[in-house]
């Protein structure tokens, strides 16, 4: 018997099965041979929320939640945040290696070359109500891009795939900024290809307009802010098989084009449990209002009345390494924008929570969202833009994961199984013989 295996005894039949273990997993399909009777379908696993199911093998992002480690292609996130740029990281994700200076030059030039969007896209944006949520506009216009680049359907061609990567990385900031400009009734600002990636985005967002809520109206011209935003983009570029990335893989497993698949991934990101938590942190900090209210707030959390937003993570059971980097950048941003007073409440909340047994025993630490909203707000981004700011860099991760899944011979169209618990077969009842039923979740 191989040591790298597990033996399962089916107590219904007394039969034992030896299943190979590879990379700490067994293949779910190996369970199918375990049958109570010859007609039996075979054993399946039940795993809502994919709590313990690896849906793919990946070589892109590594997370060790217990140790607080996050690496892209083996490079620690804090080193990338310190030494790299977002475009370099996007290249690293896609290509698997950091670019040489010549490769970086060509990649950066290519991204700049693709920043414009077709003029007709502006008409789409004009069709939205003035108060439309920018994320709704982003999701729709990314999907619409598929109709402008029909050749993108040719997903088996590596060259075509590469061009869509250039296009999407380049155009997401333009779409995002245009969505924002529409929501504030301001004329669109075209991309300026002389500017860096984050710098260009800030310019398209805020040119000719004081950033809403910014503590220092002219701060968006500061290179420190552009660098801080670039770092935030690095931190959000990928996070392995989270909800939006899994959506990307699932939708594109039907060979859907990358624009429509990215729209689906962005739709998943839109949800408050995924890309919307930093907004909830801001609401919470405002509600607390003053450091003197923190003990009372924490007591409510411990009584289970509410959650401390921005704390806890499904994977990280120690300090989220991204939160550490963001905390460092918060101070640098505030030197330019002025200090966002919410940071004092956040710091004190963190100090008290990290000394409290409720949080210690449950391994609840600040996650990426605890400080990011405070920085975005200080930079002048309205809270509606927070999920959009997440979607821009995550596009690099979504597309890299998409490409990896297409190149993986193990992958198939995603099609989970279910445990059917509904009624058994029964005859159709004519409408005049039906009686109202108490247990029906009616729609009338």
**Strand (E) or helix (H) holding 278:** helix 277-288
**Strand (E) or helix (H) holding 61:** strand 61-64
Residue 308 lies near ligand CMC (rule: CB under 6 A): yes
Helix (H, G, I), strand (E, B) or coil at 258: helix
User: Which position has the token pair 């040591």?
Assistant: 3
Residue 310 lies near ligand CMC (rule: CB under 6 A): yes
Q: Binder to ligand CMC among 312, 387, 393, 397 (CB under 6 A)? A: 312
Nearest to 403 by CA among 98, 235, 222, 166: 166
Using alpha carbons only, give the angle 73, 234, 214 rounded to the nearest 5 degrees: 170
Total residues in contact with ligand CMC, by rule CB under 6 A: 18
Residue 309 lies near ligand CMC (rule: CB under 6 A): yes
Question: CB count, 10 Å around CB of 311?
Answer: 23
Residue 142 lies near ligand CMC (rule: CB under 6 A): no
- Looking at the Cβ atoms of 32 and 362, the one nearer to ligand CMC is 362
Q: Residue 241's beta-bridge partner residues? A: none
CB of 262 to ligand CMC, least distance (A): 17
**Strand (E) or helix (H) holding 214:** none
**Residue 1 tokens, joined:** 């018997």
- Looking at the Cβ atoms of 215 and 308, the one nearer to ligand CMC is 308
**Strand (E) or helix (H) holding 72:** strand 69-72
Residue 371 lies near ligand CMC (rule: CB under 6 A): no
User: Applying CB under 6 A, which part among 35-43, 101-109, 302-310, 397-405 lies near ligand CMC?
Assistant: 302-310
Task: Mark residues 188-227: x for contact with ligand CMC by CB under 6 A, - for none.
Answer: ----------------------------------------
Q: Binder to ligand CMC among 369, 377, 384, 404 (CB under 6 A)? A: 369
Cβ neighbourhood burial of 51 (10 Å; 0-12, 13-18, 19+): exposed
Active site residues: 274, 313, 369
For ligand CMC, the nearest residue by Cβ is 312
Residue 274 lies near ligand CMC (rule: CB under 6 A): yes
CB of 299 to ligand CMC, least distance (A): 12
Q: Residue 60's beta-bridge partner residues? A: none
Q: Give the E-state strand segments of 59-156 in sequence order.
A: 61-64, 69-72, 75-76
Q: Interface with ligand CMC by CB under 6 A: which residues?
A: 239, 242, 274, 277, 301, 307-314, 362, 364, 367-369
């Amino acid at each position: 018997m191989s040591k790298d295996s597990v033996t399962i005894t089916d107590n219904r039949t007394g039969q034992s099965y030896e299943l190979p273990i590879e990379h700490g997993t067994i293949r779910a399909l190996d369970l199918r041979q375990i049958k109570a009777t010859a007609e039996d379908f075979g054993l399946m696993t039940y795993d809502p929320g994919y709590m313990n199911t690896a849906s793919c093998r990946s070589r892109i992002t590594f997370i060790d939640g217990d140790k607080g480690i996050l690496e892209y292609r083996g490079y620690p996130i804090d080193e990338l945040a310190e030494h790299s740029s977002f475009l370099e990281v996007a290249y690293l994700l896609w290509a698997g290696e950091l670019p040489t200076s010549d490769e970086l030059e060509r990649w950066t030039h290519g991204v700049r070359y693709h920043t414009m969007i077709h003029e007709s896209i502006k008409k789409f944006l004009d069709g939205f109500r003035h108060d439309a949520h920018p994320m709704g506009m982003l999701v729709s216009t990314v999907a619409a891009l598929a109709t402008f680049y029909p050749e993108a359907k040719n997903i088996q061609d590596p060259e075509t795939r590469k061009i869509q990567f250039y296009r999407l990385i380049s155009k997401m900031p333009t779409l995002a900024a245009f969505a924002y400009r529409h929501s504030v009734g301001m004329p669109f600002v075209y991309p300026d290809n002389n500017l860096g990636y984050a710098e260009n985005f800030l310019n398209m967002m805020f040119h000719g307009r004081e950033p809403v809520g910014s503590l220092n109206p002219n701060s968006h011209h500061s290179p420190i802010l552009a660098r801080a935003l670039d770092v935030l983009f690095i931190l959000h570029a990928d996070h392995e098989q989270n909800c939006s990335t899994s959506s990307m893989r699932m939708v594109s497993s039907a060979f859907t084009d990358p624009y429509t698949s990215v729209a689906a991934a962005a739709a998943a990101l839109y949800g408050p449990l995924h890309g919307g938590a930093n907004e909830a942190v801001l609401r919470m900090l405002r509600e607390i209002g003053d450091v003197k209210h923190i003990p009372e707030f924490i007591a409510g959390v411990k009584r289970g009345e509410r959650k401390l937003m921005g704390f806890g993570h499904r994977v990280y059971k120690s300090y989220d390494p991204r939160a550490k980097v963001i905390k460092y950048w918060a101070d640098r941003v505030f030197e330019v924008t002025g200090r966002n007073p919410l940071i004092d409440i956040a710091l004190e909340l963190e100090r008290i929570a990290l000394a409290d047994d409720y949080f210690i025993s449950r391994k609840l630490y600040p996650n990426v969202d605890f400080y990011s909203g405070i920085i975005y707000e200080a930079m002048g981004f309205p809270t509606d833009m927070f999920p959009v700011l997440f979607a821009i860099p995550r596009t690099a991760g979504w597309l890299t994961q998409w490409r990896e899944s297409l190149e993986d011979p193990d992958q198939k169209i995603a099609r989970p199984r279910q445990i059917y618990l509904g009624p058994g077969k029964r005859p159709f009842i004519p409408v005049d013989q039906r009686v109202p039923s108490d247990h029906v979740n009616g729609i009338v």
